[in-house]
Amino acid sequence: MAKVCFAVLAHNQRACLEDLLENIRQFAPRADVILYNGGRDDSLASGLEVDVVPYSHPLRYEGLAEFHLDVIRSVHEERRQFDFLITLDSDMLLTKPGIEDYLDQAMAHANYMAVEFNEIPPNTDWKPGRRFHLKWRTIWQPMFGTRYPFGCFNPGQVFGRTYIERLMQFPRLDELRARVERSHFPFLEEMIFPTLAVVLDCAPRRMPLPDQSAIRFLGYHAPEEIARYRRDPDVFMIHPVTMNVASPEREMLRQLSRGEHVDVAEFQEAFVQRQPRQAARKQLRASVLGPVLAGLKDAYLRLVPE
């Protein structure tokens, strides 16, 4: 059975952090767990019996590449024993036991796996991917050497030990870190680490999930969806999960983690009743302003020095 290390990123919301840690301990009791405190509350992990990454510091939204670099540096220096490192956002949960055996098989010939892993051509419809190309030829391509960048959706990236060792020997690692620390580009973690997986010859693979399913950008997972995921042999994690610790989906997973019987229909009804209805005016505003604001941000990123 593979040995897994979960690196949990948290900023605040201690109750949800406790829920996630207990979720991991129930569904993956043999796993090692470390915490990266990306917020400003130094007492966030007090009394939780979890090791805190010593390089933790406050992070900005859309800027999580430092989290990954700091975690990888820390587990390497501390010589933590694991086969796979999984980085978790605070709004994630495991859905069932067995992730260690699954990774043994799914990554038998790979040292990196991520949701929606793919090469990103210049004409991509993916907004972050288009932005990566704005400075690709001048900054990132000379560092990585691939024709195009590679991308993924960040939550739940899986790194094999070989990836960790090769990254720590990457000759331009210091330059990479310096670039990340001063960059204004959002979501670099969704380009740097999948691209490095190719550069470092880690046989990367795409996590075998349908797009916008168990790990997606928007839309909380209904209890009926979670029940379906638990029957899927490729699904062990979900994102996003509401940061309301009393939500029906969190309570259902807590009961399941304790081996209790759950009434999915009852939890589904409670979930539906709690969903806010977005006003038509707000939807219209988002549809009109969204593209305008995105265009302004693209213009800013083209002009700002990196």
Nearest to 268 by CA among 236, 216, 211, 224: 224
Q: Please list the pLDDT of the chain residue by residue as tens digits (306 residues).
A: 899 999 999 999 999 999 999 999 999 999 999 999 999 999 998 999 999 999 999 998 788 999 999 999 999 999 999 999 999 999 999 999 999 999 999 999 999 999 999 999 999 999 889 989 999 999 999 999 999 999 999 999 999 999 999 999 999 999 999 999 998 888 999 999 999 999 999 999 999 988 779 999 999 999 999 999 999 999 999 999 999 999 999 999 999 999 999 999 999 999 999 887 654 444 545 555 556 655 666 665 565 666
The answer to whether residues 130 and 124 touch, using CB atoms and an 8 Å cutoff, is yes
Buried b / exposed e along 140-149 (16+ C-beta atoms within 10 A): bbebbeeebb
| Nearest alpha-carbon partner for 8 in 269, 206, 233, 239 | 239
Q: What gap in Å lies between CA 22 and CA 42, rounded to an integer?
A: 21
Question: Which residue in this structure is represented by tokens 């490095």?
Answer: 196
Strands (E), the chain: 4-10, 32-37, 51-52, 84-88, 93-94, 112-119, 150-160, 205-206, 237-238
Domains of the chain: 4-213 (3.90.550)
Buried residues in 293-302 as b, exposed as e (16+ CB within 10 A): eeeeeeeebe
CB-CB contact of 17 with 90 (8 Å):
yes
Tell me if 45 sits within 8 A of 37, measured CB to CB: yes
- Closest among 171, 161, 196, 2 to 79, alpha carbons compared: 161
